[in-house]
Amino acid sequence: MKNKGLVYLSVFGSLALASCGGGATEEKDTHAEEPAKEEKHEEVAKVDGVTEGDIHLTNAEWDEAQAIYFDRCAGCHGSTRKGATGPHLLPNAPEGNKSPGTLMLGAAGLKAFIENGTPGGMPEWKGIMTDGEIELMTRFLQVTPPVVPPFGMAEMTETWKLIIPVADRPTTPEHDRNIDNYFGVIMRDAGKVAIIDGDTKEKLVVLKTGFAVHILRTSASGRYIYSVGRDGRITMIDTYYETPKIVAEVRGAFDSRSVEVSKFKGYEDKYLVFGGYSPAHIAIMDAQTLEPISVTPTAGNACDGDKEYIEEARVASIVASHTDPVWICNIKERGMVDIVDYTDPVHPQITEIPSARFLHDGGWDASEHYFLVAANASNKIVVIDVPNKKLVKIIETGIKPHPGRGTNITLANGDKVWVTSHLGENKLSFIKTNEGEGQWTVVREVQASGTGGGALFVKSHPKSKHLWVDRTLNTDPALNSSVDVFNSATLELENTITMPEGVDGRMVHMEYNKGGDEVWISVFMGAESALLIYDDASLELKEIIKGDWVQNPTGKFNVYNTTHDIY
């Protein structure tokens, strides 16, 4: 049988290395390890694939299947296929797990799930993956998953590239553009990030960043944009240049989804935190250079009474406090909210708060005192009092809440509420956040148009009277290619925005400009990608950004709103 741990390293290592752009300015040989990598590939090639029982994959098929799984499946089912938001995908079910093993489902059962998706939020992959890729995955999922090799400080430091030292960067902007209204736009499958001037709608640059970029975060000053992808690569973009440039990069793990910077007064732009999926750890880096400082594994006991020890305890969403020198890191499989004090980045003090499995995305309430995060596989929202480092409440909402960072609005009766949408059902839940009767309870529930779930994001703005909701993963094409807009005070549906002529795909991820009077929406997974810009007051389409460079855009992040946690 093929050496699976070795192949895992070679496949995902090659993805990251192939996407790296720019050369390091430090005096070091960035190709020093190349001969060793070549030897590993040659050694692997001598082994004739993977065979278990009646199932066989060639070397090439094994590598392709790992890449597909990493790209499409690992986020929900885990890097080692042990399950998280989605069920495990192991040949035989672990003891006590109600989900059947993949051998029991067989090729036909796996094909049905992959092609058609599930009501719980798994998208249908037919038409996105080829018939050949789907058939390949039915075989891959019935054999033992690959082993994740180590990746710690030594490996991380080896990947670090300081492309432009701090002393060589401009001290003031080389232009008179409004950086606050820049948009960073992720083109996930292309491994690129576009920087667009939100005032002029001009594309400033398209940069090669990393494979399957997940999010962008900005420095406390708003100068730097950091991207992080599913290949664990962090890319640091400097907006002070006439044309934004990559000034540093590092790889923090084989797989990841989150980064954040220090925002507390006195620590602005000083440290960056990285959340590893595979291996699962919290890494702290210098926010000016991305030089690694420390790594803390996140394995440990689960929050439940049985205290199961979990090795693959992935770091999901991360937010930075504005009131204390801490980050909130959500440990997905364990259901632990880790409050990480970065005053000593070499030996960070971590306070663990047991909550609910499996933690995913979340954001601040309007006061930026309380953090709310979805434990989406448990159908709950967890509320954390960050300054006092304690659990406030665990709230039942609906099937698989998926808020993104959520959004804060004020209802007609004066209640301030934080809003979440759901992957698994057609429901918006409104949680009261201000003091008084009903605080930390769901005070309203509203349905979007049509039936079924599939919503990924909700969005509003303090200057807006609207609440926008996408339905990206709904199986109905009429719903996944539209966005509902509600009156944020009355919660009445004002309009359903449908796809304009000449554009094709699914609508996803709304983002306001700095002024709160425009909403940008991505169109992806279709024949004609685009960015749609709407007037928030009239709900009229203002502009369509298209072109060969617009390749399946997903998340968009306005610099000012991201820096100041406005949502």
Angstrom distance (rounded) from CA 454 to CA 52: 36
Angstrom distance (rounded) from CA 515 to CA 54: 60
SS3 466: strand
Whether the upstream peptide bond of residue 358 has omega within 30° of 0, thus cis, is: yes
SS3 455: coil
Query: CB–CB of 255/74 below 8 Å?
Result: yes
Does the annotation count 56 as an active-site position?
Answer: no
For the chain, count helices (H), then strands (E). 9, 37
Helix axes 102-116, 131-140, angle to 10 degrees: 160
Half-sphere exposure of 10 (CA within 13 A, CB side): 22
Does the annotation count 31 as an active-site position?
Answer: no
Does the annotation count 369 as an active-site position?
Answer: no
Does the annotation count 402 as an active-site position?
Answer: yes
Query: CB–CB of 73/24 below 8 Å?
Result: no
Could you say which of 122, 285, 303, 499 is catalytic?
A: 122
SS3 327: strand
Dihedral sign (CA 154, 160, 166, 167): positive
Number of residues that make up the chain? 567
Does the annotation count 41 as an active-site position?
Answer: no
Angstrom distance (rounded) from CA 484 to CA 519: 13
Could you say which of 20, 77, 88, 422 is catalytic?
A: 77
Angstrom distance (rounded) from CA 177 to CA 161: 28
Q: For residue 345, how far is the Cα from the chain centroid?
A: 24
Angstrom distance (rounded) from CA 398 to CA 391: 20
Token pair 């799984």 is found at 69
SS3 256: strand
DSSP 8-state code for residue 422: B
Does the annotation count 122 as an active-site position?
Answer: yes
CA distances from 439 to 173, 383, 417, 436 (A): 45, 11, 9, 6
Query: DSSP readout, 127-156?
Result: TTB-HHHHHHHHHHTTSPPPPPPP--HHHH
Angstrom distance (rounded) from CA 331 to CA 147: 21
Could you say which of 73, 129, 236, 329 is catalytic?
A: 73
Could you say which of 88, 214, 402, 422 is catalytic?
A: 402
Angstrom distance (rounded) from CA 537 to CA 476: 28
CA distances from 81 to 49, 88, 89, 150, 211 (A): 20, 6, 5, 17, 20
Query: DSSP readout, 402-413?
Result: --TT-EEEE-TT
Could you say which of 76, 156, 187, 236 is catalytic?
A: 76
Token pair 């995913």 is found at 360
Query: CB–CB of 385/367 below 8 Å?
Result: no
Could you say which of 360, 422, 466, 509 is catalytic?
A: 360
User: What values do phi and psi take at 116, rounded to 5?
Assistant: -105, -15
Angstrom distance (rounded) from CA 259 to CA 324: 18
Give catalytic residues, as residue numbers. 73, 76-77, 122, 360, 402
